[in-house]
Amino acid sequence: MRIEAVIFDMDGVLVDSIDIHYRAWRAAVAVYGAVYPREHLDKMHGKSNADIAKAICMDFCLHVSPKKLGEEKHLQSYRLLAQARLFPGTIKTLRNLAKRKIKMGIATSSNRATLKLMWEKFRFKRYFIAGVSCDDVKKAKPAPDLFLLCAKRLRARPELSMVVEDSYLGIEAAKRAGMTAVAITNTYPRKKLRGADKIISTITELIDYVDQLEEENGQRQIL
């Protein structure tokens, strides 16, 4: 298989920010007098902030609208995301893919403002052609919309595109988009990511998998 494009999820794949987002939700929920357990967010990871806010308001009987809770979470996030860091090996991997002329994009369940913040903080424009957020589509993961839109902006065919995800919702979305799904175990254990075509432990392992697919493609062409 020849890879035309690699589409990365952002939080939990490129950026080590899952704990930051939990702290932001916890602080937002605390404003309305409730305690937010980590286990709840673990079950929601991969969903849009709007969907998470709706679930929190319903499950914890908060006397606030999901929209208002989401706005409070965004305020908390912007304060905390200054602490965010890239996972080890991220830049090395992106540089390697760029040298191969593989198109790269970001498709995140975070909102456009958060994507913009991370885009500027880590100078993602050096490597990525396109970035799409939950604000750009009507249906969030596990719908395939985010990945299909990103592939469209990259001018890449879905069947020749690869997605790197850390959540089972993201893996499902990638498969529904007709793309190769690679799961990374930054957030969930392997047993929760079994639907993926490949499971890796670190982002640098992605290069070996790309090599494997390109080698298999070369062998098929020879035959």
The tens-digit pLDDT sequence of the chain (223 residues) is 789 999 999 999 999 999 999 999 999 999 999 999 999 999 988 899 999 999 999 999 999 999 999 999 999 998 999 999 999 999 999 999 999 999 999 999 999 999 999 999 999 999 999 999 999 999 999 999 999 999 999 999 999 999 999 999 999 999 999 999 999 999 999 999 989 999 999 999 999 999 999 888 765 544 4
The two three-digit tokens of residue 92, written as one number: 């090395």
Q: Answer for the pair 103, 217: CB distance below 8 angstroms, yes or no.
A: no
From 47, 82, 117, the end of a domain falls on 82
Residues 190 and 93 occupy one common structural domain: yes
Q: Which domain holds residue 180?
A: 5-16+84-222
Residues 51 and 119 occupy one common structural domain: no
Which residues on neighbouring strands pair with residue 161, listed in sequence order? 5
Residues 179 and 126 occupy one common structural domain: yes
What's the CA gap between 101 and 120, in Å, rounded? 22
Give the chain's radius of gyration (CA, Å).
Answer: 18
Residues 42 and 97 occupy one common structural domain: no
Residues 43 and 77 occupy one common structural domain: yes
Residues 200 and 215 occupy one common structural domain: yes
Residues 153 and 198 occupy one common structural domain: yes
> Domain with 89 in it: what CATH number?
3.40.50.1000
pTM value?
Answer: 0.91
From 50, 67, 82, the end of a domain falls on 82
**What domain count does the chain have?**
2
From 30, 60, 82, the end of a domain falls on 82
